[in-house]
């Protein structure tokens, strides 16, 4: 029992040292990491301009089929059954007519 306790204490001490080492870093490393994160964030946020009212409409409003999919996904029994037998059968089983 004492050997197990000693092993646990040594493991926790090593884990603490590893965590403390990660916290230390030079300012140049942190600055370069921040710059990379900003570049990735900017690339992710940029979006294509909408070229027509049709694209604008479907960006903001969901189709009825997509609404039904979300309704089924939000109800766990329907979601589970849809993985097994398919969306149409699962939706009909729990919510009635497709």
Residue 72 falls inside a structural domain: yes
Per-residue pLDDT at 2: 73
Residue 55 falls inside a structural domain: no
Q: Which residue has the higher pLDDT, 49 or 59?
A: 59
Residue 18 — left, alpha, or beta (φ > 0 → left; ψ -120 to 50 → alpha)?
alpha
66 token code pair? 């997509």
Distance (Å, rounded) from C-alpha 7 to C-alpha 10?
5
Burial of 82 (0-12, 13-18, 19+ CB in 10 A): buried
- At residue 77, does pLDDT exceed 90? yes
Number of domains in the chain: 1
Residue 24 — left, alpha, or beta (φ > 0 → left; ψ -120 to 50 → alpha)?
beta
Residue 13 falls inside a structural domain: no
Look up the domain containing 69 and give its range.
62-98
Q: Which residue has the higher pLDDT, 42 or 84?
A: 84
Residue 70 falls inside a structural domain: yes
Residue 34 falls inside a structural domain: no
- CB contact at 8 A, 79 and 93: no
């Amino acid at each position: 029992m004492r050997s197990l306790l000693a092993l646990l204490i040594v493991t926790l001490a090593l884990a603490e040292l590893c965590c403390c080492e990660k916290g230390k870093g030079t300012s140049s490393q942190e600055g370069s990491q921040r710059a990379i994160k900003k570049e990735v964030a900017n690339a992710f946020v940029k979006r294509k301009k909408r070229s027509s009212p049709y694209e604008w409409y479907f960006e903001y409003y969901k189709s009825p089929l997509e609404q039904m999919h979300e309704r089924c996904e939000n109800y766990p029994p329907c979601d589970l059954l849809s993985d097994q037998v398919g969306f149409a059968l699962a939706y009909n089983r729990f919510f009635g007519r497709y």
